[in-house]
Structure 1
Amino acid sequence: MPLYVTVGGGLTEVASALILEPRIADRFTLVWIGGDALPGGGTGETNFNIDPLAAQYLFNETSVPIWQVPRAVYATCMVSATELQAFVAPYGAIGEWLQEKLFAMTRKFGNKLNTGETWTLGDSPLVLLTALTDWPPSTFRSPLRFERTGSSLFDEVTAPHLNADGTFTSRTEGRKIRVYRNVDSRLMLGDFFAKIKLNFSH
């Protein structure tokens, strides 16, 4: 089975593991919520800024396969406060707890953090792209043939050089990485709401 390392934050631990044992680079795929989109990249993205050196090391000096979900894509993973109240909070202690964790953010900042009617669940593509996916061709054994269209679109590009400020410099040689252009929020959030309802209804 494929091994995914999913990161919705900084890349310190992954970079440290590869520095300690470079041979693991070809044993897993890194799925990262972070950075900005190609071609230019950008500055100020939170998960890149946690540890820019780690991100640079992984992009520039390793062969690890990377699936990147940049800020412009993960920012589209939005739910409304009403959806949380209707599809999450009523279902068991877990549903109430999950909603409360979000709503507590507003109170934590003395109501100075106004999220309006929406919340961005930007780390959720980690589940979508690993658990809610087709069988990978290397493990799918069947006389049937199929072409995977996929509902989350991506580009496979030569890994660019990641600069210290989060911008990219294009390269023409090197390994390919996957950079997502969009993610299937309908599948991702619909599956989440359905699992909460089916498993925690009274």
Structure 2
Amino acid sequence: MKDPLYNVPQSKKVRVIIDTDAYAEGDDQFAIVHALLTPKFDVVGIVAEQFGTGTFPNSMEKSYEEIKKVLRLMDLEDKIPVFRGEEQALVDEKTAGNSEGARFMVEEALKQDDRPLFILNMGAITNLASAYLMNSEIADKLLAVWVGGGAYPVGHMDFNSGNDLNAVNVVLSSTIELWQIPLSAYTMMEVSFHELFERVKPCGEVGNYLVENLMRVNESECSLNLDFLPFSKNLSKAGKTMLIRSGEGWSLGDNPAVGVLISPQAKDAEERRAQKMNADGSYGEYVSEKRTIKVYHSINSRVILEDMFAKIRYHFGN
């Protein structure tokens, strides 16, 4: 990797922990690379997140291995610490796990360091919830960004919240400063495959892997029969070709976790009272009169994607 093109003022530099279910799909890898190429960030560690025990009983371990692979391709394997997170969702809203990743979050939050700590949660929020249950003193010592949850005001179960509803409610009910990027915002990160082939794939081993891996995931996901979904029942065969995946592009839905620290993204963000999440993913009772979170209802994808493309090209392009 090359030296940064510019110096970020010291007052703007931040510590970052990335929490990622890296093997679940093909977009986490883009967000990991983007974060590691961002001069504002001191990525102090990456924690592997679980993504359910159905298809992959060892999902956390698969995420751990994928993180290490991305770091090897960036020649950063021995420079960024990687930690194993909880192996499965929390059993309830009161019992912490005991993973090295959650313990690392506690340790980093309690460390004497004047720079703010951001934890970017790009998946289930199990590890942060476990860390908070281990030691609630971390609550005022970090800011959590979470990509997950359905659109407000009603909400519905998305992949990330569905992989640990207990953890979602632990964090929502805590006093941790939380910025939530729900499905209505993170699905705005649409890119075409042709664009990725032109702007990312030629950029070294890591660029090639980002695109080829996404093609692998796309082939797998586009072959799924989604007739069991309620909103697919009345669709024609033609209409189903546009259901969730078009076959021509993808939503890099984890990149907003990086993007909201690069660009203010304040145009359609709202400070609102936190609500607990019901079993079906809808938003239910308010946590308290005073507990508020920031919710991003939309995202300016252009500035985030162009920033990522430029950084990948600068560091890994010919």
TM-score by length of 1: 0.84
Q: 1:57, CA displacement in angstroms?
A: 1.4
Deviations 1:47-100 (A, max 9, x none): 00111111111112x111110000111111110011001100111111111111
Alignment partner of 1:178 out of 294, 300, 309 = 294
Aligned partner of residue 217 in structure 2, secondary structure: helix
The aligned amino acid for 1:79 is V
Say whether the 8 Å CA contact 1:39–1:170 is kept in structure 2. Answer: no
Give the corresponding residue for 1:71.
183
Q: Distance in 1 between matches of 2:199 and 2:158?
A: 30
The aligned amino acid for 1:157 is R
Give the corresponding residue for 1:138.
none
Give the corresponding residue for 2:126.
12
Say whether the 8 Å CA contact 2:218–2:247 is kept in structure 1. Answer: no
Aligned partner of residue 174 in structure 1, secondary structure: coil
The aligned amino acid for 2:299 is V
Q: Distance in 1 between matches of 2:153 and 2:218?
A: 35
Q: How does 1:4-153 map to 2 (within 5 A)?
A: 4-42=118-156, 44-60=157-173, 62-108=174-220, 112=223, 115-130=246-261, 132-133=262-263, 150=265, 152-153=267-268
Say whether the 8 Å CA contact 1:159–1:176 is kept in structure 2. Answer: yes
Q: 1:152, CA displacement in angstroms?
A: 4.9
Q: Distance in 1 between matches of 2:212 and 2:247?
A: 16
Runs of 4+ in structure 1 deviating by more than 6 angstroms, as ranges, are none
Say whether the 8 Å CA contact 2:125–2:167 is kept in structure 1. Answer: yes
**Alignment length (residue pairs):** 183
Aligned partner of residue 122 in structure 1, secondary structure: coil
Identical residues among aligned pairs (%) = 35
The aligned amino acid for 1:25 is A
1:192 lines up with 2:316 in the alignment: no
Q: Please provide the CA RMSD for this pair.
A: 1.8
Q: Distance in 1 between matches of 2:270 and 2:196?
A: 32
The aligned amino acid for 2:178 is I
Q: Distance in 2 between matches of 1:129 and 1:108?
A: 30
Deviations 1:20-50 (A, max 9, x none): 10110111111000001222221x3100011
Say whether the 8 Å CA contact 1:163–1:169 is kept in structure 2. Answer: yes
Aligned partner of residue 129 in structure 1, secondary structure: helix
Aligned partner of residue 250 in structure 2, secondary structure: strand
Give ranges in structure 1 of 5+ residues lacking alignment: 135-149
Q: Distance in 2 between matches of 1:106 and 1:37?
A: 24
Q: Distance in 2 between matches of 1:105 and 1:92?
A: 20
Structure with the bigger RCO (C-alpha within 8 Å, sep 6+) is: 1
The aligned amino acid for 1:128 is G
